[in-house]
Structure 1
């Protein structure tokens, strides 16, 4: 394994784990705040118990997210010094502000966890809201930095020099809004359906049904609303990518040849030798329409991109298909939730709960696939059109060994998290004296 591949794999591994912790850390505090609000306004102790249970999960993921995020910060400098040398002064602002948001989140999480019975009820609830807002801001700021890599702005690049630096323009680059919106909705949908799936599984096992039913409804509502909005966000993102990164769009669709009335490709196996997609379903003119609003519009293919500037088509195409496929399934799941709120008996139907239990990991699979599209689709650039990934990697030898070490660390950390969460779920009845019930709320 050469050092470039090892460095890329190590970064991919770190981001792949951290993005899950970050998504949960961005979203779970809002679930917690809603449950807390409902307890304050209704006096139903089940909501208080849900709030306390979820707050422990928030604390677990906050700690793991802090550790993995710190490791990523070091990796940027250690693995990609050629990138940080020039990019640091330009896009350092969102990272600095992210640090401030993280600091605020840590303080108010402490207030919330230890504020039971010590603060005014509404002030205590407000501290939980601040945890959510600061966590969400933290995530958006990091996505802004990543968007800058896809859409460089805030400087002039002249003869290899980065001049006239404007950090504000860099932070609010052309891609930041669409990426931040898409990532936020993805985080809400993935976390919502994952949490709902866990509670659905507990109901299938006939454990503390009233507790888990109330929790399921909150999580599924968040996940369902985000899933229904996500296709609109995806459409904005695709149009933005078509304008700024035509090579990425072509790889996403395995669109090898420039043409008018370009078809939308569903599934299929890209063949890089013949420049075709085998076994695909094609919808004539739909790619042109979805990208430019006209069935007759021309869509640039990979034949307009030099081979040295093309991303690996199969990886990007498969990841994109997985993301879209799961996204459409989650839309159907969201519609099922809407129907269930009218036909309340569904909340206790075995098929309904089984469906959600099986869907528990799907949202995060889609998040990982989407992140793969974003990062691999930009290759061979680390900074789109300006700096190649191979020119930014560290000259330090032996990166493969750090990759193996980090792999072991992250796998170990994952086992610890699973153990802690499993124990927390099992302790629910003992901690909160939740009485089993089969009555729908």
Structure 2
């Protein structure tokens, strides 16, 4: 493994793990705050049990997210020093603000975890809300930095120099809103379905049914709503990609030839030699409509992009298809849940219905990883779109493969620890919590 591949692999591994920790860390505090509010209003001790159980999960993911996020910060400087040399002064503001949000979240979480019976009930609840708000803001700020890499702005690039730097314009670049919206909704969808699936499993096993039923309902409402809204945010993101990153869009769709009535391809195996997609289902004109709101308008294909500037088409296409396929499936499951609530309440206790949500437990995170793959692989070979190539940003330091092996060991060990702690937490009988 050469150093360039090792550096890219290490960054991919780190981001792949951290994105799960961070998304759960963004969303779980919201669920926790909702349950806590219900406890304050109803004085039902079951909601207190749920709140305290979820707060322990929040603490676990806050700690692992902090560790993996700190490692990522060091990796940016270790693996990509030339990138940080030029990009740091430009997009450093969202990272700095993310640090502030992180510290606020840490302080609020401390108040919340140790505030039972010590703080005014509404102030205590407000600290939990602050954990959720600051967590979501942290996620949006980090995505803002990533969106700058896809849509660089806030500077003039003249003769290899980065001049007239405007950090505010860089932070609120052309892609930040669409990416932040898409990522935030994805976090709620993935976490909502994962949490709901775990509680559905406990209901299916007939363990502490009241506890798990109430917890399931809080989680799935957010997960289902997010899944239903996700295609709308995806459409916004795709239109931005078509405008700013046509190579990424073409790779997502395995769209080789520029044409009017551009077809949308569902599935298929891209053949990069013959420049075609085998076994795919083509919907004529649909890609033109999705991109331009017009069935006739031309869409730029890979044939208009130099080969050296094209991303890996099969990886990008497969990841995109996985993301969209899972997104549509979770959307349908979400619709089924609301149908059950409104018209078919007997479904809620049926085995097939519970199994549906148990099956869906990991799907959101698989889609999340696939979407992140589209974002990052689809931008290659650029680390800053059309400005700096990834190969030009990598460290000249040798032996990066050993760093990759070390970080791989750390992340897998960290994940095993998280799995162990969560399994122990899930198995705990909720009655152990103080309900007085």
Please confirm whether the aligned pair reaches a TM-score higher than 0.5, indicating the same fold: yes
What residue is the counterpart of 1:246 in the other structure?
Answer: 246
CA deviations over 1:123-162 (Å, ceiling 9, x no partner): 1100000000000000000000000000000000000000
Aligned 1:25-424 pairs, distance under 5 A:
25-342=25-342, 343-424=344-425
Distance in 1 of aligned mates of 2:245 and 2:280: 24
Measure how far apart 1:428 and its partner are: 2.9
* Structure-1 separation of matches of 2:401 and 2:104: 36
Task: List per-residue Cα deviations over 1:281-316 (Å, max 9, x = no partner).
Answer: 011100000000100010000000000000000000
Deviation at 1:103, TM superposition (A): 0.2
Using the TM superposition, give the Cα deviation of residue 324 of structure 1 relative to its aligned residue in structure 2, in angstroms: 0.2
Q: Partners in 2 of 1:141 and 1:213 — Cα distance?
A: 34
User: Structure 2: how far apart are the matches of 1:418 and 1:219?
Assistant: 20
Q: What secondary structure is seen at the aligned counterpart in 1 of 2:206? A: coil
Secondary structure class of the residue paired with 1:260: coil
Distance in 1 separating the partners of 2:225 and 2:61: 23
Instruction: Verify the 8 A CA contact 2:26 2:132 in the aligned structure 1.
Output: yes
Q: Distance in 2 between matches of 1:265 and 1:428?
A: 49
Helix, strand or coil at the partner of 1:298:
coil
Check the 8 A contact 2:29/2:58 in 1, yes or no: yes
Question: Residue by residue, what CA displacement relative to the aligned partner does 1:3-47 show, whole Å, maximum 9, x if unpaired?
Answer: 110000000000000000000000000000000111111111111
**Contact 2:49–2:431 (8 Å) recurs in 1:** no
Aligned-pair CA distance for 1:430: 4.8
Structure 1 residue runs of 5 or longer lacking an equivalent are 435-441
> Over residues 160-210 of structure 1, what are the superposed CA-to-partner deviations in whole Å (9 max), with x where a residue is unaligned?
000000000000000000000000000000000000000001111111010
Checking the alignment, whether the CA contact within 8 Å between 1:53 and 1:428 is kept in structure 2 is no
Distance in 2 separating the partners of 1:406 and 1:48:
38
SS where residue 267 of structure 2 aligns? strand
Aligned residues: 434
Q: What is the rounded CA distance, in whole Å, between the counterparts of 1:300 and 1:429 in structure 2?
A: 57
Q: What per-residue deviation string (whole Å, max 9, x for no partner) do you get for residues 64-119 of structure 1?
A: 00000000000000000010000000000000000000000000000000000111
Q: Structure 1 residue 348: deviation in Å?
A: 1.2
Mapped partners of 1:117, 1:432: distance in 2? 13
Q: Is the 8 A contact 1:144 1:176 kept in 2?
A: yes
Which secondary structure does the structure 1 equivalent of 2:48 belong to? helix
Aligned residues of 1:251 and 1:312 also touching (Cα < 8 A): yes
Match of 1:21 in 2: 21
Distance 2:427 2:410 in 1: 26
Counterpart-to-counterpart distance in 1, 2:139 and 2:239: 23
> How far apart are residue 344 of structure 1 and its match?
2.3
Root-mean-square deviation over aligned CA pairs: 0.9
Checking the alignment, whether the CA contact within 8 Å between 2:179 and 2:237 is kept in structure 1 is yes
Deviation at 1:341, TM superposition (A): 1.1
